[in-house]
Structure 1
Amino acid sequence: MRFFLPALGLLLAACGAQPPTPTYHAEGRPALLSEWGMMSVEGGHLTLAEAVEPYDLNSALFTDYAGKLRTIWMPDGTSAEYREGEVWDFPVGTVITKTFYYPVDEARNMLRGDEGLIVADNPETLDLDRVRLIETRLLIRREAGWVALPYVWNEEESEARLMRAGYSETLTLAEAGGTTQTINYLVPNVNQCAGCHATNNTTRELSPIGPATRHINRDFDYAEGRQNQIAHFIAAGYLDNVLDRALPRAAVWNDPDVPLNARARAYLDINCAHCHNPVGPADTSGLHLNIDAPEDPNLGLCKPPIAAGPGSGGLRFGIVPGDPENSIFIYRMDSRQGDIMMPELGRSLIHAEGVDLISDWISGLEGSCT
């Protein structure tokens, strides 16, 4: 028996039965995603390691209709600190992951992944018969600050490899009615990650964007049942108890039961405000799209562009109340041209539903530009 048990352990390890163990690498850039131990491929599923907590956002950044599985892991005995109106203050050793995928049909045609499709029986896993994995991005909190590392999945969907120089691939997205869209999918290199995650143009330090209370104050269908994500993180020891206060909640941008203004502001906040805020990379534009920005010219109302060029389309104002067709916002959102489109990173397609939302919002604004 004493010889049988070690042999059995080796056999289970070889078969992939051993669960992954989350590992924080304080330095270096591991070549394989599996070296972090945050997730593994077992039995045809992408499965999260123990204590790796999934979460979702009320409104998410548009990325060519990709679905996203988001997770947070922190070392034992550590937790994040709540910060009013900001991303939580995460301890050294935190690893945040975001896995991009597309659902597939029986013929392996790729479908839209941002419409709440069920892609696994367990909402905390991904069924690889029903999705195609594209990439997993990591944000790691080290002593000197956050580090971003992009990993690209192989064709077998068995492992993801570090692509420091980035990666691009042409994908075809199947649409209703038999039509298709071509996606020029781009995985950013490690320097391009700062294009979104360096939210302060003075320090240029990387920071997470999504894990702020207003974005994750919502319910999630965990394996053990539906629960508010904030309460779940507190129960997991990942956040001090903050349930004794009124917590902000961003609107779900495509929820028709929510007022249009709240949905539009939430959409602009998550898609644009990491650059367009008073201290962001686009601070010289004077355009502030963060959720708490007042409704004045800095929000784009009757605001002329700081710099002329193709990005303005010859239009005079960012937002012309009641007139989306003459608003620079819509002109730039409705473009795929590199020197015109906004956001300028993270997409190759036009988010038609987002354009419709902001167009409807502008149509309902009162006033005129003189």
Structure 2
Amino acid sequence: MGIVLGAGLCASFAILASCSDHHEASPTVKVDTRPFTQGCRGFTTRPGAATIERAYPQVSFEYAVQLVHHPRDAYWYVVEQGGTIRRFADRPDVSESELVVDLRDTVAMLGLEDGLLGLAFDPSFESSGNVIVKYTRKAEETDAAARLAVARLHSDNGGATFEPASLREMLTVARPQTIHHGGPPRFGADGYLYVPVGDGGWDPEMRAQDLSMIEGTVLRLDTSVEPYAVPKDNPFVGTPGARPEIFAYGLRNPFGNTFHPTTHELWVGDVGLATWEEIDRIVPGANYGWPIREGAHCKDGVECDPTGLTDPVHEYLNYGGSAIVVGSIYRGQAFPETRGHLIFGDFVNGRIEELAYDGEKAQAKLLVESGLNITEMTEDANGEILVVELGGRLFRLVPATHVQAVPELLSETGCMDMSNPKVAPRGLMPYEVNMPLWSDGADKYRWMNIPEGTKIKVREDGSWEMPVGTVLVKNFFNHDRPMETRLLVRHEDGEWGGYSYEWDADRKEARLLEGGKAEYFDGLGWSFPSRSMCMSCHNAAAGRTLGLMTPQLNREIEYADGHRENQITELTRAGWFAEPPGDPSTLAKFVAREDTEAPAADWARAYLHSNCSHCHRPGGPGRGTANFTFGATLAETGCGLTPELDPLGIENAEVIAPSSPEGSVLLARVSAIGAARMPPMGTAVVDALAIDHLREWIATTPQCD
């Protein structure tokens, strides 16, 4: 949601009874004569026709990017981005995986999008023992950030192991940045290898429109000879100056891809920049328009000539926080009405949908808001959908059997005293954070609760793991007018869902929104997030709850009865922790936003953690390699780092240029309005206080130690 949310349900996943039994022994407030709330109303699963369940729950992996089945034997192969491939037996009760090859001496995971990117079994595997792998490694050139390679790898034992020494590169290309390498290679029904290649990052030279280069293309190769041959019917064979390997072009980052089982056409999900995600049906010789267009729209709203450009089959707005992942054409039995439809999802927001296409019109339909950072969706032997998340767990898409409707009215949730929405209902725990996410100056009021008999676990990094059954409540006010209430709910499957309620003009009720919308409140433009937008920020890498961590809540606040206490102490007395964090005076503490006398570095680092690190961190969905978590080193934060995206006209730009606010893209993006703005969602008003502190911090940082 792009917000810092609280937590709490009084019971798990039904219409809940009174919370009083849970809180009478250790009430949230010491002197509060109001009646207890009748309990936040939970719901068992996320809305949609489907839900997800763990598949092969006893095995998990690190930075999993692809799941591939052996062409004959009952084994799954998992490609781990760091440079390894593991396999496990295709049995529900499998409890271990085995390493089949370690390529870490060759593969370089230089950034969040580098590393081992894909595996494809050669059609002749049974006789040749060959597979194709795609990866990045260090570049030989001083002016390149990485080198992308497509290579053969050999097995002498049917795929039980692969010999690293057998690796033979067939095609390599220098990459200008460490992003946008495209998705895994796949063999088509024609026996040829199709290799999606991204544009390599920020593309002012329009590489994706240059047929002499392979950036922003799908390549088609004949691998029956070494290193490879070009199929004679490739569309640009014989075209002067063109690379004959190119099958289609004008793509930005063609990541997820699949072949249609009957038409044998390649379908690709092309990751957009700041506005549109698209699905393309790949036609020989077609130009999909990047960077002239994003989706079917002229890039950045600048007038362009669409002549000769191929429209996507489907597109959707990404609100600056999406990355499309195309899965498989559904062939299973669990969803009869979905057969023949394309399954696609989103790496950032976890939304999984189906796309019906009749050759002319395409229509998408939600299946589930999974909340996962999806890297691939593939099908098992029965045609059912398996989902791979970057964190290494595998899931299966199954029908939702007991969906309980989300309450349409906020008054029906039991999470709000409708007569006083600034104050937590009795039995729910109010809280504040030291450094809140900037929300265009809106006032915010937060509270949380957890189910009876559950506890909060404090992780090693100080973030809090909230129990299943948690609901998080946050209210947004423009002066004294309530605008929006957001709930973040941890469902019974352990995953989270976000829900937004818009307050009526008379301020007496708030109503559930099915999607995002924009509104004005007394001159303040306000963006209501969709459910998928909520999970873009509340992603798995960020721990979902964002603001609930010890350094943020290590703060004294005033409770409803007028007494003041440190929140860590109050929650400890209430018995909410599995293991109390300890004496607040000895614990980490973020600078408070209102502490204008604090050192600029401490203020700035706390601000970056609260406003940027939910995306820009290891494993997070943010583009580039900068890590804005509070504990990152200055160099990891981006000091001295060349930006991988548009430098916004700054000459010799760095993410953070020491002693040079004017040379720092970070400051430019926080100061921007529109497509260049960071964070990209939920804010349209510049945070002047943050800009002052960031400028002072950068100006007084002499070097990147």
Both structures adopt the same fold (TM-score exceeding 0.5): yes
Distance 1:93 1:70, change over 3 A: same
Classify the secondary structure of the residue corresponding to 2:532: coil
Question: Bigger shift: 241-250 or 80-89?
Answer: 241-250
The partner residue of 1:32 within 386, 409, 412 is 409
Classify the secondary structure of the residue corresponding to 2:589: coil
Whether the 8 Å contact between 1:183 and 1:349 is mirrored in structure 2 is no
Distance 1:18 1:357, change over 3 A: same
- CA distance in structure 2 between the aligned counterparts of 1:30 and 1:45, rounded to whole angstroms: 17
Q: Which residue of 2 aligns with 1:291?
A: 630
Q: Which residue of 2 aligns with 1:123?
A: none
The partner residue of 1:250 within 590, 595, 604 is 590
| Aligned: 1:98 with 2:474 | yes
- CA distance in structure 2 between the aligned counterparts of 1:222 and 1:212, rounded to whole angstroms: 19
List per-residue Cα deviations over 1:254-294 (Å, max 9, x = no partner).
41332221111101110110011111111x40101100001
List per-residue Cα deviations over 1:116-153 (Å, max 9, x = no partner).
xxxxxxxxxxxxxxx10000000111122111111111
The partner residue of 2:436 within 37, 54, 60 is 60
TM-score, normalising length from structure 2?
0.42
List per-residue Cα deviations over 1:13-42 (Å, max 9, x = no partner).
xxxx97631134132311111222111223
Q: What number of residue pairs does the alignment pair up?
A: 308
One-letter amino acid of the structure 1 residue matched with residue 687 of structure 2: H
Whether the 8 Å contact between 2:455 and 2:578 is mirrored in structure 1 is yes
| Aligned: 1:49 with 2:425 | yes
- CA distance in structure 1 between the aligned counterparts of 2:421 and 2:527, rounded to whole angstroms: 25
| Aligned: 1:306 with 2:644 | yes
Q: Which residue of 1 aligns with 2:616?
A: 276
- CA distance in structure 1 between the aligned counterparts of 2:464 and 2:704, rounded to whole angstroms: 39
One-letter amino acid of the structure 1 residue matched with residue 411 of structure 2: S
- CA distance in structure 1 between the aligned counterparts of 2:407 and 2:418, rounded to whole angstroms: 18
Q: Which residue of 2 aligns with 1:188?
A: 529
- How far did 1:77 drift? 2.1
| Aligned: 1:132 with 2:481 | yes
- How far did 1:362 drift? 0.4
- CA distance in structure 1 between the aligned counterparts of 2:417 and 2:41, rounded to whole angstroms: 16
Q: Which residue of 1 aligns with 2:700?
A: 364
Q: Which residue of 1 aligns with 2:496?
A: 146
TM superposition outliers: structure 1 runs of 4+ over 6 Å: none
Q: Would you tell me which structure has more helix in proportion to its own residues?
A: 1
Q: Would you tell me which structure has more strand in proportion to its own residues?
A: 2
Whether the 8 Å contact between 2:612 and 2:628 is mirrored in structure 1 is yes
What is the identity percentage for the equivalent residue pairs of Structure 1 and Structure 2?
A: 31
Distance 1:34 1:45, change over 3 A: closer
Equivalent runs, 1:197-216 vs 2, <5 Å: 197-200=538-541, 207-216=544-553
| Aligned: 1:83 with 2:459 | yes
- CA distance in structure 2 between the aligned counterparts of 1:60 and 1:251, rounded to whole angstroms: 11
Classify the secondary structure of the residue corresponding to 2:407: coil
Distance 1:328 1:315, change over 3 A: farther
- How far did 1:244 drift? 3.7
Whether the 8 Å contact between 2:642 and 2:654 is mirrored in structure 1 is yes
Distance 1:171 1:253, change over 3 A: same
Classify the secondary structure of the residue corresponding to 2:473: strand
- How far did 1:100 drift? 0.5
- How far did 1:45 drift? 5.9
Question: Bigger shift: 242-251 or 145-154?
Answer: 242-251
Distance 1:337 1:356, change over 3 A: same
| Aligned: 1:234 with 2:572 | yes
Distance 1:316 1:310, change over 3 A: closer
The partner residue of 1:327 within 664, 676, 680 is 664
- CA distance in structure 2 between the aligned counterparts of 1:198 and 1:239, rounded to whole angstroms: 23
Classify the secondary structure of the residue corresponding to 2:444: strand
What runs of 5+ residues in structure 2 fail to find an aligned partner? 1-33, 45-403
List per-residue Cα deviations over 1:63-103 (Å, max 9, x = no partner).
10001101101122222112122431111111111100022
- CA distance in structure 2 between the aligned counterparts of 1:367 and 1:33, rounded to whole angstroms: 51
- CA distance in structure 1 between the aligned counterparts of 2:570 and 2:576, rounded to whole angstroms: 9
Q: Which residue of 2 aligns with 1:162?
A: 512
Whether the 8 Å contact between 1:96 and 1:138 is mirrored in structure 2 is yes
- CA distance in structure 2 between the aligned counterparts of 1:312 and 1:213, rounded to whole angstroms: 39
- How far did 1:368 drift? 8.3
One-letter amino acid of the structure 1 residue matched with residue 527 of structure 2: L
Equivalent runs, 1:254-269 vs 2, <5 Å: 254-269=594-609
Classify the secondary structure of the residue corresponding to 1:227: strand
Whether the 8 Å contact between 1:64 and 1:347 is mirrored in structure 2 is yes
Classify the secondary structure of the residue corresponding to 1:93: coil
- How far did 1:342 drift? 0.8
Whether the 8 Å contact between 1:199 and 1:281 is mirrored in structure 2 is no
Whether the 8 Å contact between 2:483 and 2:521 is mirrored in structure 1 is no
Distance 1:262 1:146, change over 3 A: same
